[in-house]
Chain A
Amino acid sequence: MDLEVKRKEPKNIQHGIWSPETLSEIDYKASYGEHRIRGCGATRYMPTFDDLMILPSQLSRLSVDTYREPCETRTVLGRRFASKPLVLETPVMIAGMSYGALSKEAKIALAKASSLVGTVISNGEGGLLPEERQNSYRQSIQMLPSRIAFTRRNIEAADMLEILVGIGAKPGLSGHLMGSKITEEIAHFRQLPIGIDLASHPRHGDALGADDMVVMMEQLRELTRWEIPIFFKIAAGRVRDDVKIAVKIGADGIIIDGAQGGTGAAPVMATNHLGIPTMPALVQAVNTLEEMGMKDEVSLIISGGIKDGADLAKALAIGADAVAIGTSAMVAMGCRVCLRCHTGICAFGIGTQDPELRKKLDIDEAAQRVANYITAVTAEAILLAKAAGKSRLKSLEREDLRSLTLEACSMTGIPMAGSDFVFGKRFGFES
């Protein structure tokens, strides 16, 4: 009798962490001896606002008619010290994406979109494109450690200043723009040589530390005559400490960029392993401001993976005053998140400097698409707010939320749906 029976190995075996993605990354490192840099933000799973639900009104409270009764969306930002705070028609602003990472056409389209919906757009790292300022409803100017193409004229053109400390995609790192995207025009605009990979300045050379930043802030206030709001843009990390310091330095508001935030180019390890996700960062920022008694004075904007009106509504409910969209605005223009922004080969003419590829983006069509998207997102948030009985987006509160998962519950302190139980410190009143 033949005792040796040939065994057939199972067809499908689990691979755990040794997924095709892990193998690809290792191959890259083995080939080049370098860390990989790519566009966009973290694509790994993290708890998001999708893990929360909004409680609707039923018998215990009445809803607002979705279609026939109004809901206020006007938003005021930067009231703490600025004599001319920003007044926006919608709490959705367009986040800073640089001219350089994006094409000129994309920047102009985004600026036009801001004028169609009445919101503010931020210029990003690459300086202020004159066409952007000409077309934007309100303009936010970023002051980065690199100060690329930044002069006093930028401050004068600003309706709002963002002192940028870091972005969620790569907190603690500086800006990256790969050589393939530094064309002659960009090089001239940014005052850089053509062809190098830009790894920009790591720190603000004119304010090393929060103590010097206090005096720098006085300088900026004097220059802006205390008129325009000055925000800090901070990557979500040690949110509590950073928010406290920003408030002490004298900011009118804080933009917190969560780990899901995108960028034109960043080391993969940085996007996937630095910082904390948007949702818990927001809760922490709100808690910190309330501890300091500053919640009503200091404006809070959250960004990083905001994709629809539910995210907007839940962010507002937790305590944000506004959200900023980046990646989703690009998607509205046609981006498919192929994660290849760093190469500059963008088939949609968005994240490229190649003149042929840029022709693919129709500015007015793109502007309309982004405006449509923001309008729809705002409408979605209104719909949800009304269903919860609110006639103002601002009336959304944390007690309107429940968690679907353990992670979301313990990260935010928002009770578990159904049991109203909280793992950890409760965020809000028992409701």
Chain B
Amino acid sequence: MEYIDALNLRSEELNRMIAEKIEHFGEVGILNPHSMHNIGIGLSRPGKILVQGSTGFYTGGFLEGPTIIVEGNTGWYAGDNMMAGELIIAKNTGSNVGAYFNGGVMVIYGGTGSRVGYGMKGGTIIVCGSAGRTAGQMTMGGKLILLGKVGKQVGESMYKGVIYVQDHEVEEKLGSNVYLDGIQEAEAAELSALFTRYHIKADPLNFRAIRPAVSGRHKYWLFRPEIKRNIPTAEHNAEKRGEPLWI
């Protein structure tokens, strides 16, 4: 395999060199990524890129075609606005990864931070480890598959799309405007295929689906006073007197 040493390169140069190498050799390895930002953004030719180390922000952003494998960790915003291809992360990622995801597959074998898949619109994101708070907020499509523990407010105000979770305590952590559902056969088959393809040991039957609520949706009350019961109200007083409400 061909290699590029990223130690003294700026991301623009590195990405150009990666594009050249893939065109000629179909695959390339990156040495010394040293948590650089913007590695692999916007690459659109098919091919394989093996990053031997950890990366910084926006890894594989706007990716459209190749497979990027990061053998270490990535920083925040990995896979942002991704269009197609595969982004495989062997270890963990920072927060806000997969924001505005459009297509392709991102697999995180470790854990991720908060806000994974924000505004996701298509494609598939699989997190084998734990996910932080507010996973899958305001998604508009796509599949978010969370194998490990999830944080609070998962699926907050989803418009469309689905989140598959294994966490047994997810009921207490659901966001607003969503509900918990069983998964269907077709969905289980899809999960099975994905797990096989990415060598993930998991049983689809352990999963449940978080789906956008279909009624009473997206009604936000900015002010909800908490009224103590023993404060007399018109209703309360009317009840006490045995009278009907005058309102």
Contacts and interface: CB of A to CB of B under 8 A. Distances in A.
A223 B42 contact: yes
B140 interface: yes
Contact of B118 (A152, A201, A219, A222): A201
A196 B118 contact: no
A271 B41 CA distance: 38
Contacts of A223: 41-42, 62
A35 B222 contact: yes
Interface string B145-176: 00000000000000110000000000000000
Given A201-B118, A215-B38, A196 B218 contact: yes
A206 B214 CA distance: 28
Interface string A138-155: 000000001110111001
B58 A199 contact: no
B11 interface: yes
B76 A152 contact: no
B220 A199 contact: yes
Contact of A199 (B37, B76, B218): B218
Contacts of B61: 206, 219
B140 A192 contact: yes
Chain B residues touching A, majority SS: loop
Interface residues of A, number: 29
Contact of B41 (A150, A197, A222): A222
Interface residues of B, number: 38
> Chain B CB within 10 Å — which of A35, A190, A205, A207 has the most?
A205
A222 B42 contact: yes
B121 interface: yes
Nearest to B222: A35
B125 to A, nearest CB: 13
Contact of B38 (A191, A192, A197, A219): A219
Interface in A188-213: 190-193, 196-201, 205-208, 212
Contact of A193 (B41, B76, B212): B212
B109 interface: no
Nearest to B100: A147
Contacts of B64: 152
Contact of B119 (A147, A193, A216, A218): A147
A152 B103 CA distance: 11
B11 A222 contact: yes
B141 interface: yes
Interface stretch (B47-55, B77-85, B183-191, B233-241): B77-85
B102 interface: yes
A208 B37 contact: no
A193 B11 contact: no
Nearest to A200: B138
Contact of B81 (A152, A190, A192, A196): A152
A205 B38 contact: no
Contacts of A151: 81, 83, 102, 121
Interface string B216-234: 0110101000000000000
Contacts of A199: 218, 220
B41 A201 contact: no
Contacts of A196: 159, 217-218
Given A205-B137, A216-B58, 4 more contacts: A147-B119, A206-B96, A206-B99, A212-B76
5 contacts: A151-B81, A196-B159, A201-B118, A206-B80, A206-B100
Query: Which 8 residue pairs across A and B have the least CB separation, nearest first?
Result: A205-B118, A205-B99, A206-B99, A206-B80, A191-B140, A147-B100, A223-B42, A196-B218
